[in-house]
Amino acid sequence: VYAVSVFHDENDNGEMDTNGLGIPTENFGCSNDAKGFMGPPNWKKAKFELSDKDKNIIINL
């Protein structure tokens, strides 16, 4: 069982930039398009199972 989160490092500084309130200023996304509220998304919403077969997931930023 896995969950994936990604962000677009637009300025290539190696980290996710945030504003003064800690809100990300660069695009990001999680598996299953899971959304968080005042923090990261819930594991149960983001998780998916990886079996012996190939699996493709789409993450919208």
Can you give the pLDDT at residue 52?
73
Q: Please state the pTM of the whole predicted model.
A: 0.75
- Going from N- to C-terminal start, the domains of the chain cover 1-54
pLDDT in tens, 5-54: 999 999 999 999 999 998 899 999 999 999 988 888 999 999 998 887 78
Q: How high is the pLDDT of residue 33? A: 93
| Residue 36 pLDDT | 86
- Rounded-to-5 percentages of helix, strand, coil across the chain: 10, 15, 70
Cα torsion angle, 29, 40, 3, 15, sign: positive
